Amino acid sequence: MQEHLDALEERMQQLQQAMRSAQLARDSEQVKQLRAELRRTQRAWDALFEQAEDTEETPADDEAHRAPAQKKPAQQPPVELPAREQVHQVLTLLAVPAAPKLISTVHEAFFTGALAPSRLTSLRRDEERSYRSAPGARPYYLCPALTSDLLSPARGLLTVSTWPLEQRIVGPLSARVHFLTGALNIADATDRFSGDTLPLPARHLLLHYARNIPGAHPSAPHTTGTDLPVDLTMLRRAAQDELALHAASDSTTRAQAATRARRQLDAVGLLFGGSFESARRLRSVT
């Protein structure tokens, strides 16, 4: 829960800085949009903070009033997190929009419990209904990525509402940029394991990234299942080198789309995309 509070606080700082920049540029419309987003983020922070207070441990004084001779109950297996919490864990690790299949694969590699892609089928619709019924009541929402051209929901890509708008938009180069960024973040996530303790699903995932990035996989004999399948240093270097070719152009496209989105979409649209009617109007203009 603490990491959610930290993310919301960081987002509020980003919004405040963006408001100052927009004010200096005398862009009153963007200031209005940013202020509304800041208020939603503040409400989400307040709700999460209150939830954290309610779930604090019972004080030691209360323990003294309990029956002293009670035996400790048998240890229960860990409770499996709801699907939305599991998805949030994965997206926080990847830090890029991701499809259900990738989310499930990464979850298997680095987290406990099962997360089948089928459990994510109705998740986005449920999140949108929840937001419409009580905007800002949750600390975060799982929402679709938005396309840079029509600002409509990108098919099959999930993001987190607390991410900057630019991070939730996908353009023509974003798929490759996200793949390379994901490779770097997956490599970082494996640092807490040694070569002998790295789970097999994580090794397979690393190998998948390495085989699809030029120069990331050494031309060595096939390794066994007990060996680290890739050279992490080589993987990082190759991913960073290719990322440098695409990142600037992709970032410009997404930033321009974010500016249009803040001007054209309402609060719901900024999270869940514009309506199909709006998309058709944009298509007719372009």
Tell me what pLDDT residue 96 has.
Answer: 97
Taken as a whole, the chain contains a residue count of: 286
- H, E, C per residue of the chain: CHHHHHHHHHHHHHHHHHHHHHHHCCCHHHHHHHHHHHHHHHHHHHHHHHHHHHCCCCCHHHHCCCCCCCCCCCCCCCCCCCHHHHHHHHHHHHCCCECHHHHHHHHHHHCCCCCCHHHHCCHHHHHHHHHHHCCCCCCCCEEEEEECCCCCEEEEEEEECCCCHHHHEECCCHHHHHHHHHHHHHHHHHHHCCCCCCCHHHHHHHHHHHHCCCCCCCCCCCCCCCCCCCCHHHHHHHHHHHHHHHHHHHHHHHHHHHHHHHHHCCHHHHHHCCCHHHHHHHHHHC
Instruction: Quickly tell me which residue has 């930033």 as its tokens.
Output: 255
Distance CA(181)–CA(142), nearest Å, equals 20
CB contact at 8 A, 106 and 87: no
pLDDT of residue 235: 95
Chain Cα centroid distance, residue 54: 26
Structure tokens at 216: 């990331």
pLDDT at 127: 95
In one-letter notation, the amino acid at residue 66 is R
Q: Name residues whose C-beta falls within 8 Å of residue 202's C-beta, 6 or more positions apart in sequence.
A: 109, 110, 186, 189, 190, 193
pLDDT at position 263 is: 95
Determine contact, residues 111/126, Cβ cutoff 8 Å. Answer: no
Q: Which residues pair with 147 in a beta bridge?
A: 170
User: What are the structural domain ranges in the chain?
Assistant: 1-52, 83-285
Task: Report pLDDT for 70.
Answer: 52
**Per-run averaged pLDDT (10 residues), the chain, 286 residues:** 69 73 70 77 72 55 49 54 92 96 94 83 90 92 96 95 97 97 94 75 92 84 53 94 97 97 95 70 47
The answer, as to whether pTM is greater than 0.75, is no
pLDDT of residue 251: 97
Phi-psi region of 145 (alpha: psi -120 to 50; beta: other; left: phi over 0): beta
